Structure 1
Amino acid sequence: MNDVKKALMDKILKGNHEVPIICVPIVERGKADIISTIKECMNNNTEAVEWRVDFFEEYNSLAEIKDVLEAVKDYTENMLFIYTVRTKPQGGEIELDETNLMKLYNVAVESETVDFIDMECFSMKLANAEVQRIQKSGKKVIISHHEFNETPNEQVLKNIFEELNNTKADVVKIAVMPQNSNDVVKLLKFTCDIKDEYPDRPVITISMGKLGVVSRLMGEVFGSVLTFATMEKQSAPGQLTQNQVKEILEVIHKA
C-alpha cells in the first residue's frame, strides 16, 4: 500500500471529524464497462470506489470476478477499493444464501485489489466470526445494514448500531429511508450521538432518497467518514455526482 492509499485508509479508520471520503459506486453490468469506469475514476482522482458485484452480469462466476479484480488492480493504486455484494433484502440485485455469499467474500479476501469488504450483518448467522476471518486476511470490514422502508426510532437505531458494533468490524455503516424531514434530523442526531459516545469509532450513516441528500454532505459536521457520489449511474436514491459533492464538501470545510 503506497502513501496515498495509506493516507485515505487512515482518514477513514481514525474516524475523525474531517472532510468525508467520496466513494463512487461501480454499478455497470459488463466487464468492459466496469473496467472502463474504474479507469475513468482513476483519471478523475477519485478517492474510493465501491464495486457492486451484485450488478455484475457474471456475479455467479468466481473466475470472472477474479478477472475483473485483477484487471483494475493498477487503476486502484491511489484509491480505496470497496467490494460489496448487496443482496435483495438489503436493496441489492441478487438473492444469495449464506454459503454462496461467503464464496463471493472469499474472492475478495484473496485479491490484492480489495481494501474493504462490505458485509451485511444480518445476512450472516455468525457475523462476528466472519468479520474476524476476513480481518485475519488483512482486509478491512465495513459491517452494514440498510432500512429501505423507514427510519427506525432512536432506540431501534441504537440497537442496530450496537449489534453491528459488537462484531468489531473496522467501520459501521447504517443507511435508512426517511419519510419526512424529521427522519433526516433523527439520523443526523443519531450520528452525532454515536460520535460523542464512541469518538474513535468510524461510522458511515446515510439518510437515503431526495429528502436525505443533506446527510450525504454533512459528514464533517456530524461524524460520517464516507459519502457516496456518482460518476453517472446511481446505486441508491438521492446520490449526487462526485464533482457536485466535492465542491459542496469543500465549501462546508472552508466555512
Structure 2
Amino acid sequence: MASPTLTVRGVELGAGRPEIIVPVAGDDEAALHGHLAAARRAPARIVEWRTDRFARGAGTAEHRAAVLAALPGVREALGQERALLLTLRTSAEGGDREIADEDLAALLIGAIRASAPDGAPLVDLVDVETARDAGAVRAVAEAARARVVAVVGSFHDFAGTPEEARIVEILRGQRALGADLPKVAVTPRDPRDVLALLGASLTVAADAAGPHLAISMGSLGAVSRVAAETFGSAATFASAGEASAPGQLDAEDVSRLLDLLRP
C-alpha cells in the first residue's frame, strides 16, 4: 500500500504544514552561489536548482558537464538540513533551454547517480515533465528508485486550466508513470479555473496514495499557494529574490500566510 507521505532528507511531505520550495538559478557558479546564500536565509527546507538557467550559452553535452561539475558545490552550500530538487525546464515549460528527451534523461540520471564522498546521492529529488517521452520518464524514475531519490512528475499549462476531471487524471497518471510527487501548475483565466484546480487537488488528496503539488499560477491563483494545506497540496513554491514562475510570492510572506491559514 502506498504511503500518504514522502520523506526526503528528513523533510516529510504530505503531513502537516506544506513545505516551501525556493528556486535558485544563476548563469555561472558565482551567481548561483549568491542565490543559494539567499535561499539559506529563507524559511524553506527544499531548494530547487533551475539548471536550465545555468551555463546558458553551452551546448547540450557541455551544459550537462557543467551542471554535474557544479553539483557537489551546490550540495555543500545547502548543508545537510535542506533537500535539493534538480530541475531543467524548456522554454515551452516556462524555462530557458531546449533539450531532447534522451538528453534530458541523461542529465537527470547523471545527477541521480552523482555521489557524495560517503556514497550518498547529491540530489534528493529530480523533476521531469511527464508529457515528455514515456520511455525517458520511466528511465529517470527507475534510476531514481535505485538511488532512493524522489521524482517530481510535472505538468504545466501556461495557456489555461484543464477541466477538473482532467487535472485529476493528470495527477493520477503521473503517479502511475513513477512520480513520487505529482505536480500540476496551470494558468487561471477566471476564479472558476482556480476552483477547478483546488477541487482536483482535494480529490487526489482523498486517494491517500501519496503527496502531490497543485498550483494555480499568476496573481489570480495566488490563493492556491498559501491555502495549500486546506486543499491537499503538500508543498508550495516561493521566491527568495527573483521569482521563477508567474504569481510566485516571497518565501517570508508565504511562511506567515501558511501559518495564518492553517485549517
Identify whether the pair has TM-score above 0.5, normalized to the shorter chain: yes
> 1:68: which partner in 2?
70
Query: Could you tell me how far 1:50 is from its partner in structure 2?
Result: 0.4
- Cα deviation 1:19-46 (Å, max 9, x = unaligned): 1111111122222111122133224453
- Cα deviation 1:52-86 (Å, max 9, x = unaligned): 11111256423321232111222221111000011
Query: Could you tell me how far 1:169 is from its partner in structure 2?
Result: 1.8
- Looking at structure 2, the residues matched to 224 and 21 of structure 1 have their Cα atoms a distance apart, in angstroms, of 9
Q: Which of 205, 222, 233 is the aligned partner of 2:231? A: 222
Q: Contact 1:82–1:115 (CA<8 Å) still a contact in 2?
A: yes
- Looking at structure 2, the residues matched to 40 and 158 of structure 1 have their Cα atoms a distance apart, in angstroms, of 35
> 1:152: which partner in 2?
162
Q: Which amino acid aligns with 1:193?
A: T
> 1:123: which partner in 2?
132
> 1:239: which partner in 2?
248
SS in 2 for 1:228: strand
Q: Which of 204, 207, 213 is the aligned partner of 2:213? A: 204
**Taking structure 1 as reference, are residues 244 and 166 closer, same or farther at Cα in structure 2, changes over 3 Å only?**
same
Query: Could you tell me how far 1:219 is from its partner in structure 2?
Result: 1.2
Question: Which range moves more in the overlay, 220-229 or 37-46?
Answer: 37-46
**Structure 1 gaps, min length 5:** none
> 1:180: which partner in 2?
190
- Looking at structure 1, the residues matched to 168 and 203 of structure 2 have their Cα atoms a distance apart, in angstroms, of 10
Identity %: 29
**Structure 2 gaps, min length 5:** 1-6, 115-120
- Looking at structure 2, the residues matched to 137 and 5 of structure 1 have their Cα atoms a distance apart, in angstroms, of 12
- Looking at structure 2, the residues matched to 32 and 240 of structure 1 have their Cα atoms a distance apart, in angstroms, of 25
> 1:88: which partner in 2?
91
> 1:53: which partner in 2?
51
- Looking at structure 1, the residues matched to 109 and 139 of structure 2 have their Cα atoms a distance apart, in angstroms, of 14
TM norm structure 2: 0.87
> 2:176: which partner in 1?
166
> 1:108: which partner in 2?
111
TM norm structure 1: 0.90
Question: Which range moves more in the overlay, 125-134 or 146-155?
Answer: 125-134
